[in-house]
Amino acid sequence: MKKILTLAIALVMVFAIAAPAFASGWDIEIEEVELKDLGLKIQALATEKSSNTTWNGGSGYAVLEKTYPVIAGTKVHAVVTVTIPAKANLSKDMQAYMTNNQAQVKIETTNLENVKVKAVFTSNDKPYYNETLTGTKIKKALASSDILEKGATITFEITANAEKSDKDAKIVAKLGVYNEWKGDTFEWTKDGKSYKVVHDTAQDWFNVCKGSDYVAFPTLDEKKGAIDTSRLITVFCGGEYYGIVKQVNNQLAFQGPTGVISDPDNATYKKVKAVLDEIFGVLGFDYEGAKYMQEDHFTKFFGTVMEGSDDLTYPTGYVAELVTDDPSVNPPQTGDNASVVGFVMIAIALVAAAAVTVKKVRA
């Protein structure tokens, strides 16, 4: 009992310690933008060939209306279909996203092993490529070569085996447009304006840019992500650096090349403050709220431009058997080891469920 309680307390402490990195500042509402132009669906397939309803030009596997229960070793068969319309019906924005490899298909599986994904690209009933991917997380970027006059279809045929008997098996397919880190640089657009952040890992700085101006945030390191309070958050504006300082009256001032500028009516003060306000505004915090900054923050809040998803769940077919000679014996009651574990798991699940229902996300 003591060991289980110690484990539960340890789990709570881990969450409590990890939380600050995603619990200060970053007051940003993540806008859910529905996927446009492209189509996505996932279907369960039979594991044996037949003459029933088929997919992909008569491959011989029936499309199932429902999934089925699985235990360890049970074969799972499904197909994810991505539809790309004809070039004339594909927006200029989506064509640009595909050209930049920002339009991507993501397939993730849980409680499945031996996962193989056969990707087949077809246009006007003519196959263009065929490749096999493996792993529990598959990512395939669409490209400019996928933009065709007749449109195209990409099928991802998934075969796998259930790994454990006492857990559901799940396949989640996502199709969307994503911003990603490219080396030390991450770019995104918000409210029609373009922004960029450059992560100087050698000096532990995040330079968040709008055009040629930027705000530089010093951090302790990428793992901790805490802002380094021994160094000044600095604004680069008009070719000069201005360190942010606070006066005794709690008003911000800027330490520039000619001294400290503290007069809000000063022309240079206004220009520097405007850069500061815009960058802080897009990041969702003010000077006091600048506590943490990591690469994951930018991916989380600015990484998804638009997204659609579909999924399949194969329920566990495992039935726990209570072995006892006494039919009056009941399942474990409150106070025993199993109950303690159960309550811990329920509490964690409730916290997770509550977090999902909150529309406004704070990191």
My answer on whether 73 and 128 are in the same domain is yes
Mean pLDDT within 164-193: 96
Answer whether 301's CB lies under 8 Å from 30's CB. yes
46, 167: one domain: yes
Whether 78 contacts 64, CB under 8 Å = no
130 contacts 119 by C-beta, under 8 angstroms: yes
What's the pLDDT score for residue 110?
Answer: 98
pLDDT value at position 208? 98
In a domain, 88, yes or no: yes
| CA atoms of 209 and 118, how far apart (whole Å) | 41
Q: Is the predicted pLDDT of residue 23 greater than 60, yes or no?
A: no
Residues 87 and 140 in one domain: yes
* Residue type at position 221: D
Q: How many residues are there in the chain?
A: 363
Tokens of 40: 């996505």
Q: Which residue has the higher pLDDT, 344 or 190?
A: 190
- Judge if 169 and 187 occupy the same domain: no
Give the pLDDT confidence of 159-177 residue by residue, as tens digits: 999 999 999 999 999 999 9
- 8-state DSSP, 227: B
**What 8-state DSSP symbol labels residue 4?**
H
321 or 67, which is more confident:
67
Give this prediction's pTM.
0.78
Check pLDDT > 90 for residue 320: no
- Are 156 and 215 members of one domain? no
Say yes or no: 50 and 152 in one domain: yes
pLDDT at 126: 83
Q: Is residue 346 part of a domain?
A: no
Please report the pLDDT score of residue 339 as a whole number. Answer: 43
Confidence of residue 13 (pLDDT cuts 50, 70, 90): very low
- Do 204 and 282 reside in the same domain of the chain? yes
Of residues 176 and 4, more confidently modeled: 176
Q: Are residues 222 and 74 in the same domain?
A: no
Higher-confidence position of 325 and 358: 325
pLDDT at residue 52, rounded to an integer: 58
Residues 143 and 241 in one domain: no
Asked which of 56-60, 233-237, 276-280, 351-355 is least confident by mean pLDDT, the reply is 351-355
Residue 273: inside a domain, yes or no? yes
Smallest Cα–Cα separation from 287: which of 323, 251, 324, 241?
251
150 and 207 in a single domain? The answer is: no
Q: Does 9 have pLDDT greater than 80? A: no
Tell me the per-residue pLDDT of 321-331, one tens digit each, with 9 for 90 and over: 656 565 555 55
Whole-number pLDDT of residue 322: 56
Asked if the structure places residue 13 within a domain, the reply is: no
pLDDT at 6 over 60: no
pLDDT value at 272 more than 80: yes
Mean pLDDT for the stretch of residues 215-238: 92
Give residue 10's pLDDT: 44
Q: Does 119 have pLDDT greater than 90?
A: yes
32 or 93, which is more confident:
93
C-beta of residue 116 within 8 angstroms of C-beta of residue 159 = yes
Is 16 among the domain residues? no
Q: Are 226 and 219 in contact (CB under 8 A)?
A: yes
| Coil vs helix vs strand at 322 | coil
Residue 266: band (very low, low, confident or very high) from pLDDT cuts 50, 70, 90 = very high
Q: Measured between alpha carbons, how far is 172 from 115 in angstroms, rounded to an integer?
A: 13
Is the pLDDT reported for residue 358 higher than 70?
no
pLDDT band at residue 307 under the 50/70/90 scheme? very high
Residue 268 lies in a domain: yes
Answer yes or no: do 316 and 293 share one domain. Answer: no
Q: Verify that 209 and 315 share a domain, yes or no.
A: no
Block residue for tokens 């964690």: 348
pLDDT given at position 230: 94
Count of domains in the chain? 2
54 belongs to a structural domain:
yes
Which CATH number characterizes residue 44's domain? 2.60.40.740
Residue 120 predicted with pLDDT over 70: yes
Domain of residue 293: give its range.
182-300
Distance (Å, whole) CA 158 – CA 155: 9
Is the pLDDT confidence value at 103 over 70?
Answer: yes
pLDDT score of 270? 97
The per-residue pLDDT of the chain, averaged, comes to: 84
Answer whether residue 125 is part of any domain: yes
